Structure 1
Amino acid sequence: MGKVFFTPDRQVEVVYKVKDSKFYGNISRVDSEEEVRKFINNIKSTYHDATHNVSAYKIGEGDRALKYSDDDGEPAGSSGPPVLRAIEGEGLTNTVIVVTRYFGGTKLGIGGLIRAYGNTARLAIKESGKKKLTLQYKIKVLTNYDKLGTVLGQSEAFHSRILSTEYENDRVVVTLRINPDFFTKFKDVLIELTGNRVEVKKSGEVYI
């Protein structure tokens, strides 16, 4: 079924107290930077009177992963990076966490902040639970009308999922989702069976 990753199972909020400070940890699955921005802005709006709203997120995997953390006024490296390390340390992707702090009057020091923000993030992850995500390639197959049956037949043989079939002039465009492990073989088989009267190209990646 392709490479498996993990994402938060559900959106939750946890509360973690350290000395006189109170930390609220909010976690959610996100599949785009737009969803990240909406989630962070919503938390900042809800806790607009907080001392800090520290955030971190990760979307995707490998060299193309999008990762970011924000200390939001805390000493550099004391808050956002520990939250991001918690996300990566738990093997999560497509994840955003916002840790909101209400300062209680007692300074925690750099080490204390690192522990507090990291612990709040890990508590949120534990409370949310993990859900498996499988990476799939989204691909487009362009061919002639008379080869459509071959494309559809091989799509079924390779356990792909047809997302759409569109007709453009004298050609057909089939959009489907397939296990990355099958992509190259699927492409080679279609080229062979259609006498190279087909164009197969990757158009994106999705997690299901």
Structure 2
Amino acid sequence: MDSSSVLSFAKMRQTARQHDAVILFCRVPEALSEKLHGETPSSERTRAFHDVDRALEWCEDQLLEHADRERTQYNGLLDLVNQQFGSSTMARAFVGYLERLDVTAGTYLCREGEASTSLYFVERGRISVTVELANGQQKRLRSMGAGTVVGEMGLILGTPRSAAVVADLDSRVYRLSAESLRQIQLEVPEIATAFQQFLLRLLARRLVAANGEIKALLD
């Protein structure tokens, strides 16, 4: 790294301070660390990470933290279900079929390749969806916070898990098993219909988001 490159990064740090931004460095050789960070490696305007995935995880953590502060419409699982079903009576009945799980950070809700026998509602905390790469490393696909659902595709299709789900933080989730879903369909078909409509809306939103990501990559 020549002197002009060092000067360029110094200007970047100055711009970051002016705009209240943070510069993230990934896979930086130790010999270059001081030149990139400046005289104060612990500067709040620069951070170093082992790889790009960890850097993106840090960015997502900031966004999730901000979203949690801004979240005003979510007050727990019952509130979420009530919003989707449009009936507090049906919402309470539906929640009665769910199993509450309080899990600690690092707990796997399911592993890649396992049979898909349930889906999960996240009431609080944060979970990540990960896949195992050919080299044996884990790749995180996305993180999900309170008010989200995970595992619905496997349960609907009856296929093995295409990814693992692990708790990033101590979390509270509610499990809907395939057996409980069959009970709902037999005992309260109107709730089963409301739940199916909820899943259709959820999958449609995720399809729209996926199309947007593909478009962004192509552009």
- More helix per residue: 2
For normalisation by structure 2, the TM-score amounts to 0.22
For normalisation by structure 1, the TM-score amounts to 0.23
**Which protein, 1 or 2, shows the higher relative CO under an 8 Å CA cutoff with sep ≥ 6?**
1
- More strand per residue: 1
